[in-house]
Chains A and B, each alone.
Chain A
C-alpha cells in the first residue's frame, strides 16, 4: 500500500491567495483526519471525516478554512484567503477504526504564507 498521500509537499503562497491541500487516504480506511502542526501549538485537530461525512469541525480555526471529502479516496483542505499565521505543516491521517487502531499519517504539506 502506498500509504496516505498528500500533495503538495511544500507550498509557498502570498497572503490573500487561496490554498488547496490534498489527501488520498489508505484504501479501506473509513476515517480521515486533518491536523496542523506548529512549534507553538503542536499538533491540532482541525476536522475529521467518517465515511466521507464531516463529523467534527470544531477545530477549524476560522471560516477561511474549509474541508471536503467528495469520495472515499480524496479529501481537500482549503484556505481562502490565506494569512501568514496559517503557516504550518498540515497533516492528513487515516484510520480503519477511528483512533483505536492508531493513525497512519501522510508526509504532510509545509505551507508558508508570505
Chain B
C-alpha cells in the first residue's frame, strides 16, 4: 500500500522566517508530487507541483524533490501569518490515475 508520510506538527515559525515542510513516500516509482494548502474549514488548494529531481521555485515557495531518498519538501520564505494553514503532500497512486495525500503538517506563523 502506497503511503505518504508527513509530520503532523504543529510547526511554529516567527514571521519572516523560513518554514520547511517535509514529506516522504513509499513507492519508489512515484513520478508526480504536489503540495496543497488547506486553511481551517476550507478545501485544499494547489500551490506547487514538481516532477523532476531538484528545486522548483514559485514566488516565496520552493519545492524540492529527491527521488533517490524518496523525499519531497516545501520551503516558504519570508513566512507570513497568512501562511498559517495545513500543508498536504500528494503523490500519484500506483496506477498513475489519482493522488494519494499525506495527513498534512500544520504551520503556524506568529507575528
Contact = CB atoms under 8 A, between A and B. Distances in A.
Contacts, number: 47
Contact of A91 (B43, B49, B93, B95): B43
Contacts of B45: 105
B97 A48 contact: yes
B43 A45 contact: no
A45 B93 CA distance: 10
B32 A99 contact: yes
Contact of A98 (B46, B49, B88, B97): B97
B46 A102 contact: yes
B97 A55 contact: yes
Scoring B32, B93, B99, B104 by chain A CB atoms within 10 A of each residue's CB, the highest score goes to B99
A75 B96 CA distance: 22
Contacts of A103: 44, 46, 99
Interface string A18-57: 0000000000000001010000011101001000000110
Interface in B46-77: 46, 49
Given A43-B44, A56-B95, A102 B100 contact: no
A74 B101 CA distance: 25
A108 B44 CA distance: 10
Contacts of B44: 43, 91, 103, 105
